[in-house]
Amino acid sequence: MNPLILAARNLKRNGRRTLVTLLAIVLGTASILLLGGYARDISYGLQTIYVQRSGHLQLFKSGYPDFGMGNPSGYGIARSNTIIDLVREDAELGPMLAVATPMLHFGGIAASPGQTTSTTVAGHGVVATDQQRLLAWNGYDVPIPSAQHMLGEHGADTAVIGIGVARMLQMCDALELSQCPRPPATDDDASSATPGELTALATQFETLEGPADTTPQLDVLASSIGGAPNIARLSVVQAVRQGMKAFDDTYVAMHLAQAQKLIFGPGEPKVTTIVIQLSRTEQISAARERLQSLMSGPFRDANLEIRDVFELNPAYGQTISMVRALFAFVATMLVVIVLFTVSNTMTIAIMERTEEIGTLRAMGVQRKGIRWLFIAEGMLLGVVGWIAGVVLALAIAWGLESFGIPWSPPGMAIEIPVTARFWNEPLLILLTCVGMVLVSMISAWLPARRAAHMNIVNALRHV
Amino acid sequence: MTVVELSHVSKHYLLGVERVAAVSDITLRICARSFTVLSGPSGSGKSTLLNLIGCIDRPDDGYLRIGGETVQNWTDTELTAFRASHIGFIFQNFNLLPVLSAWENVEYPLLLAGTPAADRRRRVDEMLDAVGLSDKARHRPNQLSGGQCQRVAIARALIHQPDLILADEPTANLDSQTAMGIITLMRDLQRERDTSFVFSSHDPMLISQADELVQLRDGRIVPPDSNQASGAPR
């Protein structure tokens, strides 16, 4: 008699109890898989948003991330195109590259002509075509709505801003933005109208620059080389919702040449950052290693340092740690529940089958034989429960995908559909299988051990 | 030839803080190929004695030799292996495994012995035929009558050809007609298979069939000269 067939028949003896025990394992398995898949999708979703915006690796002038954010002219990288060409042509780095592009980051103040409000912004001088390619990265096939960056379709004096910037500068109507709240009316509205002399100055500026058009305008004030203020008037062609709220409220992108003109004037144009986006995130360490060796060779004079996407965005690591800790806590709780449920079932089964255990022992079944009888039942419960749990999890995950329930991950300003694609995590599925079967067997082991050590005479007398 | 040999065997149980003698200073020899009945009133120690002979309990004192083996100092594993190959049990409540069919219940001791499948099939079919249950082979115990269950239990006890069959009150749960049929079957199989049966019972029908009768009272053997039972060696 195959021990598993015997175990199956014994489990069938009390179908309702077996069903309840199986239900605990099924729900435990499905919950762990869905939670694991959900945690995975949060992780990959966040990572995709960060990689789309800051690439996998960034090269800076040494000291820039700590001291140079407010001093782009002091920490600018000269002849960035030479470095980028070397990176693109490198035999090791080239095949890994998705995008290598220069950027000029600077801080400034933005205002909309005719409005009294202004806001501090993070200006980004970008190569528009590269920016579109950066945003197209989706290494994990995350269902994030693809962002279209329209800077490339417009001329030199144009800008793309975050929805938050548009909201604060009250440009929502002009940009025909839906889901962009209007400010409530305040008592200061009447008194805060633009003073006459400023309106006159603006009119004069418009006259100097040429005829007014209907495109919303944005004035960006920044500190140029040497500390003198400089201003650029840009036509806002698009407001794009950025992944992170912090980005959304400060994002102003313009053509790199325009930004360089604003910061460096007629001087040598530099960039603050060389953004490198790889085909796959797993290539970060190899690419970084190669870049390090290039920096001690051909790039030595440039005095650069490297930061990866995770170092640049510590919030990512914190969010993922929190999600993983929650997952580990819930998974542990579920495993404990399964453990107690199976153990309780086995204890009752052993009580009911005490006389049977005595009979088997009298007939010559060794203690280990009795132990295995019950452990096999636990194992069978674990295997069947796990299979049913996977099926249930697949059905729920499919339902989630179909309904596309939107949500905003922590710290993000965009909504993405809730997904739990655990099938892309074979290790999670394997661990859940091994875990559930082991937990079921361990749960059965302790009562089985007691059964194996029963006094045979007492067991035979049991009623 | 002796199949069971006990010398000054005692067994005590603790009842609360009191130590009660279940059997005291038992010295007994049971001949091979005999139909022996341990008889006596409730609490006389016949089941305890049967348990000791069956190696499912250990004596506190004395010497115990079963099937030519001195077993009292053996480990649990050794005793279990010994039971599997040398002893068959028949219980008052039949004690069949409810999830197994009659055929599978009879097969079980052969599985424990590692008998090859073809041999198992042949022997189980033959044994079920011997107890008259060939047509009930696929029935589960809950589909059989008490008498049929006890026949399956007898087949299970005999299938691995043990030296000794121990039966604890095998007819206690059966009506007299069925009990008589079971006693006759056991007697026939004992003679046919040349094995030894030891019963604990106070069933007069069974006692009347005994080759040897051992009377117990208060945990001691009653000397033959004061034996009131009608059973006599045949």
Q: How confident is the model at residue A410 (pLDDT cuts 50, 70, 90)?
A: low
A411: part of which helix (H) or strand (E)? none
CA A354 from centre of chain: 54
Of the candidates A283, A99, A245, which has an alpha carbon nearest to the alpha carbon of residue A165?
Answer: A245
Q: What is the pLDDT of residue A201?
A: 53
Contacts A352 to B, Cβ<8 Å: none
Give the tens place of pLDDT for each residue, A141-171. 888 776 677 787 788 899 999 888 998 888 8
Is the minimum CB–CB distance between B173 and chain A shorter than 8 Å? Answer: no
Give the tens place of pLDDT for each residue, B41-60. 988 999 999 999 999 999 99
Residue of A nearest to B79 (CA): A364
Q: What is the pLDDT of residue A170?
A: 85
**Is pLDDT of A294 > 80?**
yes
In angstroms and rounded to an integer, the radius of gyration of the C-alpha atoms of chain B is 18
Residue of A nearest to B107 (CA): A1
User: What average pLDDT is seen over chain A?
Assistant: 87
Tell me the average pLDDT across B94-123.
Answer: 95
Question: Between helices A367-403 and A426-452, what is the axis angle to 10°?
Answer: 150
Q: How confident is the model at residue A243 (pLDDT cuts 50, 70, 90)?
A: low
**Is pLDDT of A57 > 90?**
yes
Tell me the average pLDDT across A52-63.
Answer: 91
How many degrees, rounded to 5, is the angle at CA A222 between CA A220 and CA A228? 135
Quick one: CA dihedral A329, A334, A340, A343, positive or negative?
A: negative
Quick one: CA dihedral A254, A256, A258, A259, positive or negative?
A: positive
**Is pLDDT of A411 > 70?**
no
The whole-angstrom separation of Cα B142 and Cα A228 is 100
Pick B97's closest partner by Cβ from A12, A356, A456: A356
Contacts A6 to B, Cβ<8 Å: 99-100
Q: What is the pLDDT of residue A454?
A: 92
Whether residue B84 and residue A6 make contact (CB cut-off 8 A), yes or no, is: no
CB-based contacts of A168, cutoff 8 Å, min separation 6: A117, A119, A249
Contacts B83 to A, Cβ<8 Å: 362-364
Percentage of residues in chain B having pLDDT higher than 70: 96
Q: What is the pLDDT of residue A196?
A: 54
Pick A364's closest partner by Cβ from B80, B98, B107: B80
How far does the CA of residue A3 sit from the closest CA of chain B (Å)? 11
Interface confidence: ipTM more than 0.90: yes
The whole-angstrom separation of Cα A289 and Cα A295 is 10
Whether residue B57 and residue A9 make contact (CB cut-off 8 A), yes or no, is: no
**Contact (CB, 8 A) for A157 and A258:** yes
CB-based contacts of B167, cutoff 8 Å, min separation 6: B89, B90, B91, B157, B186, B197, B198, B199, B200, B201
| Residue type present at position A27 | L
The pTM (predicted TM-score) of the whole model is 0.78
Of the candidates A265, A284, A170, which has an alpha carbon nearest to the alpha carbon of residue A216?
Answer: A170
Interchain CB contacts (distance < 8 Å): A and B: 63
The whole-angstrom separation of Cα A374 and Cα A11 is 10
The whole-angstrom separation of Cα A157 and Cα A154 is 8
CATH number for B2-226 (one of 3.40.50.620, 3.40.50.300, 3.40.50.1110, 3.30.70.2740): it is: 3.40.50.300
**Is pLDDT of A209 > 60?**
no
Residue of B97, B140, B142, B169 to mutate, testing the A interface (most A Cβ within 10 Å of its Cβ): B97
Whether residue B80 and residue A366 make contact (CB cut-off 8 A), yes or no, is: yes
How far does the CA of residue B129 sit from the closest CA of chain A (Å)? 21
Pair type for strands A273-278 and A158-162: unpaired
Whether residue A9 and residue B77 make contact (CB cut-off 8 A), yes or no, is: no
Is the minimum CB–CB distance between A233 and chain B shorter than 8 Å? Answer: no
**Is pLDDT of A29 > 90?**
yes
Residue of B nearest to A359 (CA): B95
Is the minimum CB–CB distance between B17 and chain A shorter than 8 Å? Answer: no
B2: part of which helix (H) or strand (E)? strand B2-15
* Domain map (residue ranges) of chain B: 2-226
Whether residue A359 and residue B54 make contact (CB cut-off 8 A), yes or no, is: no
**Is pLDDT of B233 > 80?**
no
**Is pLDDT of A221 > 90?**
yes
**Is pLDDT of A200 > 80?**
no
Q: What is the pLDDT of residue B23?
A: 93
A224 or B226, higher pLDDT? A224
Q: What is the DSSP letter of B100?
A: S
Count of CB atoms situated within 10 Å of the CB of A260: 22
